[in-house]
Amino acid sequence: QITQTGKASYYADSFDGKKTASGETFRQNSLTAAHPNLPFGTKVRVLNISNGRSVKVRINDRGPFTKGRMIDVSKKAAKKLGMVSTGVATVQIKYKKKQKA
């Protein structure tokens, strides 16, 4: 199991219904996320280290490519993580190496 710590942000509503890099349509109401390089389909446990809340998401998009960001989650995931009002949160992500394609 691999652990990474970094900053999470969440998708703007304007991206709802648009095509992700995996070809899937993005839905704010699904538990998905964008990561710069994890294989599509990887299941990732995201923990908001400021409040202890966590959620499991599936990687189906590429990004964020912004300096200092590690993962972008859907709004549904952001709600579960309690980070909708803050916008950005320091999180720890965990995933299994064997999921890699």
Residues lying near a second copy in the complex (CB under 8 A): 9-15, 18, 34, 36-37, 63-69, 72, 87
Phi and psi angles of residue 58, each rounded to the nearest 5 degrees, phi first: -115, 130
* Smallest distance from a second copy to CB 94, Å: 21
Q: DSSP string covering 26-47, please?
A: P-TTS-EEE-SSSPTT-EEEEE
**For a second copy, the closer CB: 44 or 72:** 72
Burial degree of 79 (CB within 10 A; 0-12, 13-18, 19+): middle
* Smallest distance from a second copy to CB 10, Å: 5
* Smallest distance from a second copy to CB 56, Å: 21
